Amino acid sequence: MNTAAKENKLGPNGKPVRPFVMPKSMRGKLSVWRYLIYRRTLQITILLLFYGTAHWGWNIAETPIIVGNLSASKLLGFIPLADPFASLQIMFTRHMPQNELLIGAAIVLGFYALIGGRVWCSWVCPINMVSDLAAWLRKRLHINDNFRLSKQLRYSVLILTLLLSTITGLAAFEWVSPISMFHRELIFGVGMGWTAILGIFLFDLLVQRDGWCGRICPLGAFYALVGKLALLRIGFDAPTCTHCCECIKVCPEPAVLNFSKAAQQGMIISGECTNCGRCITVCPEDTLQFRYRFKTSTHQPAHSNPRLTTGE
Amino acid sequence: MKKTSLNRREFLTRTAQRGALVASGGLLWAYLLQQQAQATATAIRPPGALAEADFNASCIKCGQCVRACPYDTLKLAPVGDTAAIGTPYFTPREVPCYMCEDIPCKQACPTGALTPQLSRINDSRMGLAVIDIENCLSWQGLRCEICHRECPVQGKAISVEHHPRKLSKHAMFVPLVHSEACTGCGICEKACPTDEAAIRVVPPDLVQGKIGSHYRLGWKNEAGITKDFKPAAKIKSPDDQPAGGLDYLNKGEL
């Protein structure tokens, strides 16, 4: 142990707690931002594919690449895709959709059930760009919450969605969903939908931290339930963790980073984890890594990420 | 003990607070939806669209019908548009439905909101053309009849009839719409040469009346009323007796 370590606090593993330091080099910075960059690239690429197919005739061998929007679409002319939550709402209005929609919903549902339900939220949903921007600005401007909404509220909204679908005979969330408004109007022509997006931005920025995505959105709640058994997880290598809590500071769902639970399971097991990868890149000890759920844990010798602790 | 009861109170209060938040939000949401669900439908839907309430429930607002239309007829209503949010509709005066025989919009629909049961485009009922006879050129006595000639169900959906003209030897030729054949494609509305179209497509519910089954139009259906017509059986009652009273003049009592 060196002298610096004696001055610092020690983690439960006896190692010094080192704070995350943003690297000064561009390469280091890009490495910290890498999942953010991947996520934005994917989000924008998906919207661009829809837009390009619709407006610029993008195709592969005369077959349109992807027609429709994130509610339902057809990939390469024959693979149906559909929003499983929207399809469920339609069924709750007591209307049975055609097989094509059911198959599309099953494909999407299966995909997210495997790689993590809320991968939708942080890797695909276009609202994520708005709420991330609000969260970043809120941190920059040191804005405190106006009031606190429960993180469990979204499950009530989820139940309400299905209840109202049955009562009113309209797919309740689809008729007010700012997510659908956003991608629909980007792809099919702009109306007043941007006002809803502005609403989410201001709400998240000034009223409640992670208000929309983390507390209200029933689609996120739906995918949190879907992802409970998913295979792709954030692995947690307990012996290396010094409880520096850098991961909790960046996590939009901090409740999922329960260290004692994570140490037991060897991974973050909550369905509310969006697999966004923010925690991975700020962890100075490389404790957190993407991992496959059923891989037996490998206790590698503790290795740290010098770039993140020295700021080089 | 004291601590437990305090916790229980806290728990109950918090539960009530959460319940109130969800309930009040839910009520607002329900009002909004109910209003949307019951609003008068004025939008003209693509061919094969289910009845408005079923269509609104089934449509997932994906816009695949919009992209399938080769004439760019269809639009997805953005927020603040006249049609219900996110649903496909068209404005015939801008671009009507050109009635593709293979109905690509219907084929593209993944949900069945545009029903797969529609196999012939002429069977579609997107709307009904109505004529404003006060502004129709033909009804003023000019020879127009453009709607009749443009109509894809020519002669069946719009016919041209003789109509007497006041004090003139010359008849007028006026268009008439027949709802049993009109598909509501709106090609007539698009073609109408007046500044504001004098023939327009509207949802049939808004303009169509209903006679009622108890009316018997015998002259329209020869086999109908005359053949099995029987006068109502006479009901016997004391009133059927010849009226009593003062009939003395006829009986020669005076």
Residue B122, pLDDT score: 94
As a whole number, mean pLDDT of residues A213-222 equals 94
Share of chain B above pLDDT 90, in %: 59
Q: What DSSP character marks residue A10?
A: B
Residue B193 has pLDDT above 60, yes or no: yes
Residue A201 has pLDDT above 90, yes or no: yes
Residues B108 and B65: beta-carbon distance below 8 Å: yes
Measured from the Cβ of residue B226, the count of other Cβ atoms closer than 10 Å reads: 11
Phi, psi at B75, each rounded to 5°: -130, 150
Q: What DSSP character marks residue B44?
A: B
Q: How many whole angstroms separate alpha carbon B6 and alpha carbon A8?
A: 41
**Contact flag B22-A150 (C-beta cutoff 8 Å):** no
Residue B170, pLDDT score: 84
As a whole number, mean pLDDT of residues B167-184 equals 90
Residue B130 or residue A77, greater confidence: B130
User: Which of B92, B78, B79 shows the shortest CA–CA distance to B47?
Assistant: B92
Residue A145, pLDDT score: 79
What's the farthest any 2 CA atoms get from each other in chain A?
A: 70
- Under the banding of pLDDT at 50, 70 and 90, the label for residue A2 is very low
Per the prediction, chain A carries an average pLDDT of: 87
Q: How many whole angstroms separate alpha carbon A246 and alpha carbon A284?
A: 8
Would you call B192 exposed, middle or buried from its count of C-beta atoms within 10 A (0-12, 13-18, 19+)?
Answer: buried
Match 């089934």 to its residue by tokens.
Answer: B58
Residue A287, pLDDT score: 87
Written as six digits, the tokens of A53 are 């197919």
CB nearest to B81's CB, from A163, A170, A191: A191
B56: chain A residues, CB-CB within 8 Å: 169-170
Residue A88 has pLDDT above 70, yes or no: yes
Measured from the Cβ of residue B113, the count of other Cβ atoms closer than 10 Å reads: 29
The one-letter code for the residue type at A100 is: E
Residues A216 and A152: beta-carbon distance below 8 Å: no
Cβ density class A36-69: b for 16+ within 10 Å, e for less: beebeeebeebbeebbbbbeeeeeeeeebbbbbb
Q: Nearest CA of chain A to the CA of B23: how many Å?
A: 9
3-class secondary structure, A135 = helix
Task: Compute, in degrees rounded to 10, the torsion defined by CA atoms B4, B10, B11, B12.
Answer: 110
As a whole number, mean pLDDT of residues A40-51 equals 95
Residue A239 has pLDDT above 90, yes or no: no
As a whole number, mean pLDDT of residues B77-96 equals 90
Mutate which: A188, A194, A197, A208, vs B, most B CBs within 10 A:
A188
Written as six digits, the tokens of B248 are 């003395």
Q: What is the pLDDT of residues B52-71, one digit of tens each?
A: 889 999 999 999 999 999 99
**Contact flag A175-B79 (C-beta cutoff 8 Å):** no
DSSP element (H, E) containing B20: helix B2-38
DSSP letters for A51-118? HHHHHS--EETTEESEEE-SSEEEETTTEEEE-HHHHHHHHHTT----HHHHHHHHHHHHHHHHH-TT
Written as six digits, the tokens of A50 are 């829809």
B111: chain A residues, CB-CB within 8 Å: 72, 90, 97-98, 100-101
Residue A44, pLDDT score: 95
Would you call A108 exposed, middle or buried from its count of C-beta atoms within 10 A (0-12, 13-18, 19+)?
Answer: buried
Task: Please give the C-alpha separations between residue B171 and each of B132, B148, B208, in angstroms, as whole numbers.
Answer: 19, 17, 28
Written as six digits, the tokens of A97 are 């959709």
Task: Please give the C-alpha separations between residue B134 and each of A88, B170, B187, in angstroms, as whole numbers.
Answer: 50, 19, 20
Residue A19, pLDDT score: 84
Q: How many whole angstroms separate alpha carbon A307 and alpha carbon A297?
A: 25
Q: What is the pLDDT of residues B201-231, one digit of tens each?
A: 999 989 999 988 888 777 776 555 555 656 6
Contacts across the A-B interface (CB distance below 8 Å)? 147
User: Which of A268, A310, A311, A312 shows the shortest CA–CA distance to A287?
Assistant: A268
Residue B48 has pLDDT above 90, yes or no: yes
Task: Compute, in degrees rounded to 10, the torsion defined by CA atoms B242, B245, B250, B254.
Answer: 160
DSSP letters for A141-163? HTPPPSS---TTHHHHHHHHHHH
- Under the banding of pLDDT at 50, 70 and 90, the label for residue A97 is very high
User: Which of A157, A166, A164 shows the shortest CA–CA distance to A91?
Assistant: A166
CB nearest to B67's CB, from A67, A94, A152: A67
**Contact flag B81-A170 (C-beta cutoff 8 Å):** no
Residue B30 or residue A189, greater confidence: B30
Residues B90 and B72: beta-carbon distance below 8 Å: no
- CATH topology for the B41-123 domain: Alpha-Beta Plaits (3.30.70)
CB nearest to A73's CB, from B62, B75, B109: B62
A200: chain B residues, CB-CB within 8 Å: none
Residue B234, pLDDT score: 66
As a whole number, mean pLDDT of residues B126-145 equals 94
Residue A308, pLDDT score: 57
**Contact flag B57-A95 (C-beta cutoff 8 Å):** yes
Per the prediction, chain B carries an average pLDDT of: 86
As a whole number, mean pLDDT of residues B188-203 equals 96
Residue A118 has pLDDT above 70, yes or no: yes
Residue A307 or residue A95, greater confidence: A95
Q: How many whole angstroms separate alpha carbon A200 and alpha carbon A181?
A: 12
Residue A272, pLDDT score: 93
Task: Compute, in degrees rounded to 10, the torsion defined by CA atoms B152, B154, B158, B164.
Answer: 150
Residue A242 has pLDDT above 90, yes or no: no
3-class secondary structure, B7 = helix
As a whole number, mean pLDDT of residues B158-177 equals 88
Sequence ranges of the domains in chain A: 3-28+231-310, 37-225
| Backbone φ/ψ region at A89: left (φ over 0), alpha (ψ -120 to 50), beta | alpha
| 3-state DSSP helix/strand/coil % of chain B, to nearest 5 | 30, 10, 55
Written as six digits, the tokens of B247 are 């009939």
Residue A13, pLDDT score: 75
Phi, psi at A32, each rounded to 5°: -65, -35
Q: How many whole angstroms separate alpha carbon A300 and alpha carbon A282?
A: 20
Q: What is the pLDDT of residues A123-160, one digit of tens each?
A: 999 999 999 999 999 999 998 877 788 888 999 999 99
Share of chain A above pLDDT 90, in %: 55
Residue of A nearest to B63 (CA): A68
Stretch(es) of chain B classified as CATH 3.30.70.20: 127-208
Residue A269, pLDDT score: 87
Residue B134, pLDDT score: 95
The one-letter code for the residue type at A92 is: F
**Contact flag A160-B77 (C-beta cutoff 8 Å):** no
Measured from the Cβ of residue B18, the count of other Cβ atoms closer than 10 Å reads: 15
Residue B230, pLDDT score: 67
- Under the banding of pLDDT at 50, 70 and 90, the label for residue A301 is very low
Residue B35 has pLDDT above 70, yes or no: yes
Rg of chain B in Å (alpha carbons): 30
CB nearest to B58's CB, from A97, A176, A188: A97
Written as six digits, the tokens of B24 are 């009040």
Assign domain B127-208 to its CATH architecture: 2-Layer Sandwich (3.30)
A189: chain B residues, CB-CB within 8 Å: 75-76, 78
Beta strands in chain A (DSSP E): 59-60, 63-64, 66-68, 72-75, 79-82, 232-236, 288-292
User: Which of B131, B60, B111 shows the shortest CA–CA distance to A170?
Assistant: B60
- Under the banding of pLDDT at 50, 70 and 90, the label for residue B248 is low
CA angle B108, B112, B117 (to 5 degrees): 95
- Under the banding of pLDDT at 50, 70 and 90, the label for residue B126 is very high
Match 């219907």 to its residue by tokens.
Answer: B106
CB nearest to A169's CB, from B22, B53, B68: B53
Asked if A195 reaches chain B (Cβ–Cβ under 8 Å), the answer is yes
Q: What is the pLDDT of residues A278-288, one digit of tens each?
A: 999 999 888 89
